[in-house]
Amino acid sequence: MTSLPDFRLETYFSRWEFTARHHLTASDAQTMNIGELLALADDQERHAWETLSFGYTETFGDPALRQAIADTYTHAEADDVICFAGAEEGLYLAMHALLGPEDHALVITPNYQAAETVPLSLCQVSGVALDAGRDWALDLDRVAAEIRPNTRVISVNFPNNPTGKVIDAADFARLARLCDEREIHLFSDEVYRGLERDTSRTLPQAADLSERALSLNVTSKSLGLPGLRIGWITCRDRRLRSRLERAKHYTTICNSAPSEVLARIALKARERILARNRAVIDANLPVFESFFAEFEELFSWRAPDGGCVAYPRYRGADGVEEFCARLIEEAGVLLLPASIYRSELTATPADRFRIGIGRADPAPALDAFAAWLRDRR
């Protein structure tokens, strides 16, 4: 087992996230305050909130919360769900439960850094890159070719962070079948599910496609409630789920009781919240389109298929790293440069940056961005 490297994104955010005048790279949808969330509660959940006791909760998660999560799946039951303190804990413990020194994992790139660095600390890992030249396509034949006899996990993320890519449902089903045929666990990061621009392209959840698959999700991204710190894994393999519970005994033990009640309210109102957040993105996209059209000599822009982030190309001669550094220092506008998404497994584009499209009223940030660009002309 090797030590984990610095988490580049979190290190960068530690410096800039709460000091930047304009946070234009946020990865979550527009949040709400507690009054707005409680207004969505039914009588049962409002009573639960008002009579809440601050005792320990169950390690697997509050039973009513697990049922609310299970209700978002086609085949899962409440006993197939285990809750965590955010998605990161679920990812970390799942990789430790699934992988050992003699194993091999296959990871899609670009990705959220922990998706590859946690497996790399445990075993051999290979990568398959989404093809930037073909609209971030995933080559399933390449995935099949990279599988080894000791491959135990294939890790994917759609809608993808940072590209916003959503593959076809037929390809996702084929990937799940491939994993089942080879007795591999498909680990599917689904934290942006529900924010597809075309809702007909919403992928099935992996845990609905296979008893071996693990679906990771969280209240943070699509629902826009990162402060709750409630994530979960749904998996119909009960023995694996039990291993995840035993692993959690060494980390958070149990979740925050207030957060579990608030997460129940959000999940029961999930369709309303998702519709609201999709409407924010729909309203924002023409604003971003107009911005990038003004500076088309500098940027290659494409709206994401889903999620709250996009990954435009920067064409400037100074390079994207210097560009992003000067933008935050001189204009106070925060973006994430391509180095945050570099991979040890595959080549990744070095001329991209992540921009967030899920927060309400991006106009002040884009105005500051545009003014800075005009001054540089």
**Mean pLDDT of all residues in 25-50:** 97
Two structure tokens written together for 277: 């957040």
CATH number of 292's domain: 3.90.1150.10
Per residue in 179-217, pLDDT tens?
A: 999 999 999 999 999 999 999 999 999 999 999 999 999
pLDDT of the residue at 377: 82
Nearest to 266 by CA among 229, 294, 319, 292: 229
What is the tally of structural domains in the chain? 2
Query: Of 268, 295, 312, which residue sits at a domain end?
Result: 268
Same-domain status, 251 and 129? yes
pLDDT of the residue at 358: 98
* pLDDT greater than 90 at residue 222: yes
Pairing relationship of beta strands 151-157 and 104-109 according to DSSP bridges: parallel
**Mean pLDDT of all residues in 269-293:** 98
Name the helix (H) or strand (E) containing 333: strand 333-334
pLDDT of the residue at 338: 98
Please report whether residue 361 resides in a domain: yes
Same-domain status, 80 and 227? yes
Mean pLDDT, all residues of the chain: 97
Q: How many CB atoms lie within 10 A of CB 254?
A: 18
Query: Of 251, 268, 285, which residue sits at a domain end?
Result: 268
Same-domain status, 203 and 289? no
Read off the DSSP letter of residue 187: E
Same-domain status, 234 and 306? no
Same-domain status, 192 and 282? no
Please report whether residue 1 resides in a domain: no
Query: Of 240, 268, 296, which residue sits at a domain end?
Result: 268
Nearest to 64 by CA among 267, 264, 257: 264
Contact (Cβ atoms closer than 8 angstroms) between residue 281 and residue 357: yes
Q: How many CB atoms lie within 10 A of CB 3?
A: 5
Same-domain status, 130 and 71? yes
pTM: 0.97
Rounded Cα–Cα distance for residues 48 and 338 (Å) = 45
Query: Could you list the residue range(s) of the whole structural domain that residue 74 is in?
Result: 43-268
Nearest to 81 by CA among 216, 212, 199: 216
Same-domain status, 302 and 372? yes
Please report whether residue 180 resides in a domain: yes
* pLDDT greater than 80 at residue 1: no
